[in-house]
Amino acid sequence: MNDIDAQLGRIRGDVPPLAHNARSIAALTSNPGCARRAIMDAAGIDKPRLASYIGFPAPFGQSQFAITRGNAFEAQVKANGCAELLRLLREQLGLPIPEVSYDDLEEVGGQRSQLVRHTRTRSLLTRAVRAGGDAGTLFDHPLLRLEVGGRPVYLEPDLIAFQLGGRFHVVEIKSFAVIDGQADGDKVAAAAIQSAVYVLAMRDLLAELGTGPEAVADEVVLVCPENFSNRPVATLLDVRKQLTVLRRQLSRLARIDSLVGLQPPGLTFDLELDQAGAPHRAAAELADDVHAVPARYAPECLASCEMCFFCRDEASGLTAALGRAVADDLGAVHSVQMALGLADGTITPADDQAEAAALLREAARLRRECLGATA
């Protein structure tokens, strides 16, 4: 492990690794086949900075409006000792009336240090586990810890873990609307995977206390505004699948050594910062090093990875840039040039391209028939 740590350290250069958060851990699962992303995440590289240094800054991060809106909605749901949330939990999950205990963990004795908050979270949860149902129902902003790639990561869920029937439930408050019982599928998926990160961290913590994983429910409570109002509505979300994906992805991060072993020995993404923090490395040279690690670009990357514009530029002219569905249909035909060649018959297909080539020629014929001479 030391060996691999040293290798990752060399790839990162002389800067401290970037800490993960729930969002970045969730993003790990979106493109598991991408070696470039896996190595960068494992080494804790500042991807936004790297991307902008080599000329492909990503207009990334949440919009300030979205953050403000999210915080306002969260504050509304949690106002006055989670009054609105209690109503939802009582109505929809049958939380008993006496269960109203509320502990604020966002600040401990005027301190916001992560260590203090984590210690306090631990001690409160320990007490809740030992004493059963009576010691604490709602925990506001607990600070959990999860091992990611051999390093502890503090996770600050914008959520509350509450106990119902002896099981902890994770509550995720999101500000996208559920309209007529339907919400944006992508957003729900993102929320589910983020909540799964919290469930995992919570289970880790309870495992340290000698409690089995069943103490944390597989279902998380998603609280969203209903229709076009600000009135919150709660739904149960099963995250078992996301948990499996996450676990697999995290164990893959732990086994990053095999992947690092495949890369060229001198590889480094070091920006060569000076004392003042200004980068000195030649951008072109750095870009070459980034090119050396294979990526697997798909248009979905634009929503989750800071390197997306660099990879898209690299992938231009390849069928992968057209989306996973197209790339899958074309099979072994990797570049757009080749696809066009196969379609008009100027390139003879290899054995593994024969099927795709037949389809392409058929499509070209249909196109000619439809468009006639103008095509």
d(CA 145, CA 151): 10
Range in contact with another protein (rule: CB under 8 A) among 78-86, 159-167, 298-306, 334-342: 78-86
Range in contact with another protein (rule: CB under 8 A) among 106-114, 157-165, 265-273, 293-301: 106-114
Evaluate the CA torsion angle 71, 143, 241, 89 in order and state its sign: negative
Least distance between another protein and beta carbon 226 (Å): 13
Range in contact with another protein (rule: CB under 8 A) among 61-69, 100-108, 158-166, 240-248: 100-108
Residue closer to another protein, measured from CB, 113 or 244: 113
Least distance between another protein and beta carbon 36 (Å): 42
Question: Token match 């873990």: residue?
Answer: 161
Least distance between another protein and beta carbon 207 (Å): 25
Site string for another protein, 132-171 (x = CB under 8 A): ----x-----------------------------------
C-alpha dist (Å) from residue 370 to 48, 343, 361, 365, 374: 46, 16, 14, 9, 10
Alpha helix segments (H runs only) across 44-179? 47-53, 64-93, 114-131
Least distance between another protein and beta carbon 102 (Å): 5
C-alpha dist (Å) from residue 106 to 124, 155, 189, 337: 13, 12, 26, 56
Among 108, 236, 267, 302, binds another protein (CB under 8 A): 108
Report residue 286 as tokens: 């750095």
Find how far residue 269's CA is from the centre of its chain. 22
Apex CA 216: angle with CA 210 and CA 217, to 5°?
155
Among 52, 101, 211, 235, binds another protein (CB under 8 A): 101
**Judged by CB under 8 A, how many residues of this single chain contact another protein?**
24
Least distance between another protein and beta carbon 206 (Å): 20
C-alpha dist (Å) from residue 268 to 11, 63, 271, 281, 335: 4, 32, 9, 11, 29
Residue closer to another protein, measured from CB, 232 or 349: 232
In the three-class reduction of DSSP (H, G, I as helix; E, B as strand; rest coil), residue 181 is classed as coil
Evaluate the CA torsion angle 30, 35, 38, 40 in order and state its sign: negative
Report residue 76 as tokens: 């509304």
Among 109, 265, 277, 372, binds another protein (CB under 8 A): 109
Residue closer to another protein, measured from CB, 86 or 196: 86
Site string for another protein, 207-246 (x = CB under 8 A): ----------------------------------------
Site string for another protein, 182-211 (x = CB under 8 A): ------------------------------
Among 6, 83, 262, 282, binds another protein (CB under 8 A): 83
Phi, psi of 104 (to 5 degrees): -90, 120
Interaction of residue 131 with another protein, rule CB under 8 A = no
Q: What is the chain's alpha carbon radius of gyration, rounded to the nearest angstrom?
A: 25
Among 61, 87, 119, 303, binds another protein (CB under 8 A): 87
Among 104, 186, 238, 352, binds another protein (CB under 8 A): 104
Buried b or exposed e, range 47-66, using 16+ CB within 10 angstroms: bebbbbbbebebebeeeeee
Q: Which residues bind another protein (CB under 8 A)?
A: 79-84, 86-87, 90, 97-98, 100-104, 106-111, 116, 136
